[in-house]
Amino acid sequence: MNSSELIALTPIIILSGTAIVVMLSIAIQRDFLLTSSIAAGGIFITLLALYSAWGKSPTQATLLMRIDAYASFYMMLLLAAGLAVLGFCYDYFKNREGENEELLLLLLTALLGGSVLVSSSHFASFFIGLEMLSISLFVLISYSLNQATSLEAAIKYLVLSGVSSAFLLLGIALIYAQCGELYFSSIGRYFTSHQEMNAMVLSGTILIITGLSFKLSLIPFHLWTPDVYEGAPAPITAFIATVSKGAVFVLLLRYFISTTSYTHTPLLTVLSVIAGLSILGGNMLALLQNNVKRLLAYSSIAHIGYLLVAFIAGSSVAPQLAVEAVTFYLVAYFITTIGAFGVVSILSTPKTEADDISCYRGLFWERPWLAAIFTLMLLSLAGIPLTAGFIGKFYIFTSAAEGRLWGLLLAIIIGSGLGLFYYLRIIVAMSMNVDTTEIKPIKLSQDWFSTATLTVLTMLLVWLGIYPNFLINVIQSISHGFVE
């Protein structure tokens, strides 16, 4: 490893260093605020390091990692999401009895896993990153130890993660058996030199897709999702919905483009079926929910389905457009999902999650700003203009129309119609008139960090919805650098 490779890896090294410092500081002095500040500072320094390295030429740091604009951008996105979640976590856990400090350590290791995942160019780093992310999540999900639902959720996630890892490993093994390579680009070279259909490679890739679909909670691999979303503490749910899913999706896209797997047309059929099922199924199941967290869980299934449509379009349109569409949609999805769960987390405590739709009744008149923010987030999820979600949906439409995926477009249109219904249900509940005499559990403490984070997220949401040029330019530079 030479010095330029080491420099390229600086952000990951800083992040690992922060995790160690946090661990040591917990050993010396237990203080939630101090530990949170160290963790936040570490993430912030990593972001600065990434920012200062922006625009440098792509570096292949050993065979395992490829630090290019694509990886740096997504690392920044994950870290920013981590920072936002940290803000919510602080307010959520600060009044809880017991040891909260390890939470931050786990958040950092999960972020580290995600960062490795988005920059990996080799099956080994891919698997290490994924496991690092998942193992941190098991503990994070069950962090409110006295809650039975949290424990149940964690065990569900543990078992299904194990199963999905097994699928993934078998898939990797099959591909390795055929190509003798674990490095993505070498696999790509093998695929291009062996054009004919190969059952081994095909089943290997399908197994990898299966394994990743568990993580992305695509139908029919979604069964864990609503329970885990419901059981996990609200800020952690935001983390699972964004960082974990986002990192896996980013990896999937990189794998497909650098190994030229798009040329295997049967895979596209499999993916199209999964996408269609996820969009329709996710939206339909969400219709029946009275629990906001479960509702958002099903809606996230549908959103990953929309993303997958842009992903599939990458086979027939210029890959740049697919990368652009996926990236913009992911950014919008991150902002919106963290914002929505952030509102849930502000209203919740570790003892009582504000997840029933009745908790939101009359919120418009009690806490107008919070309700307005939640409304904006929900409208963005529904893809209404003025919000980033609309531009994201426009991107998906454009890439899907360019790729002539008419069936999937129809699914998106039907899905959006259904989606609107359940998002509006929450908005209706918030705008209902309630008697002021009705007693409501009121949280007394002030949530400064959460409020600040939500404000930033809302401003980003509206800014990107009205004037998306800045982000589009950044994304274009990534996609052009990524796909030569």
Partner 1 sequence: MILLALIGVLVLGGFAAWFSERWSRLLPRWVAISTLVAEIPPLILQYMASGHTILPAGLPSAWFADVYGAWIPRFGIGFHLAMDGLSFLLVALTVLLGFMAISSSWTEIKQRQGFFFFNLLTCLAGTVGVFLAVDLFLFFFFWELMIIPMYFLISIWGHEQRTHAAIKFVIFTQVSSLLLLLGIVVLVLIHHNDSGDYSFDYFDLLNTICDPDVAFWLMLGFFIAFTVKLPAVPFHTWLPDAHTQAPTGGSVILAGVMLKTGAYGLLRFVIPLFPEAAHQFAPIAMTLGAISILYAAMMAYAQSDLKRLIAYTSISHMGFILLGIFSWNFIALQGSVITLLAHGISASALFMIAGALQERLHTREMSRMGGLWSSLPRLAALALFFAVASLGLPGLGNFIGEFLVLQGAFSVNGLLTSVAALVLILAPVYALNMIQKTFYGPSQQDSSLSDINRYESVSLALLVLIATWLGLSPQTVLNVSAPALKQAMHYAVGMER
Residues within the interface to partner 1 (CB under 8 A): 365, 379, 382, 384-386, 390, 394, 397-398, 401-402, 409, 412-414, 416-417, 420-421, 424-425, 427-428, 431, 433, 467-469, 472-473, 476
Nearest to 300 by CA among 283, 313, 277, 312: 283
In terms of CB distance, is 421 or 448 closer to partner 1?
421
Nearest to 381 by CA among 330, 333, 343, 329: 333
Rounded to the nearest whole angstrom, what is the least distance from the CB of residue 397 to partner 1 in the complex? 5
Greatest alpha-carbon pair distance for the chain in Å reads: 74
Rounded to the nearest whole angstrom, what is the least distance from the CB of residue 366 to partner 1 in the complex? 13
Nearest to 427 by CA among 397, 384, 465, 388: 384
In terms of CB distance, is 13 or 428 closer to partner 1?
428
Alpha-carbon gap, residue 93 to 466, rounded angstroms: 35
Rounded to the nearest whole angstrom, what is the least distance from the CB of residue 398 to partner 1 in the complex? 5
- The three state secondary structure string of 299-356 is HHHHHHHHHHHHHHHCCCCCHHHHHHHHHHHHHHHHHHHHHHHHHHHHHCCCCCCCCE
Give residue 140's identity as a one-letter amino acid code. Answer: L
Rounded to the nearest whole angstrom, what is the least distance from the CB of residue 447 to partner 1 in the complex? 23
Alpha-carbon gap, residue 237 to 342, rounded angstroms: 10
In terms of CB distance, is 263 or 431 closer to partner 1?
431
In terms of CB distance, is 106 or 379 closer to partner 1?
379
First-residue to last-residue Cα distance in the chain = 25
Radius of gyration of the chain (CA): 21
In terms of CB distance, is 188 or 383 closer to partner 1?
383
Query: Strand 65-67 and strand 59-61: pairing?
Result: antiparallel
In terms of CB distance, is 26 or 471 closer to partner 1?
471
What count of residues does the chain have?
484
Taking CA 343 as the corner, what is the angle to CA 277 and CA 149, rounded to the nearest 5 degrees? Answer: 65
In terms of CB distance, is 63 or 472 closer to partner 1?
472
Rounded to the nearest whole angstrom, what is the least distance from the CB of residue 121 to partner 1 in the complex? 28
Q: DSSP state, 291?
A: B
Rounded to the nearest whole angstrom, what is the least distance from the CB of residue 420 to partner 1 in the complex? 5
In terms of CB distance, is 163 or 409 closer to partner 1?
409
Q: DSSP state, 194?
A: -
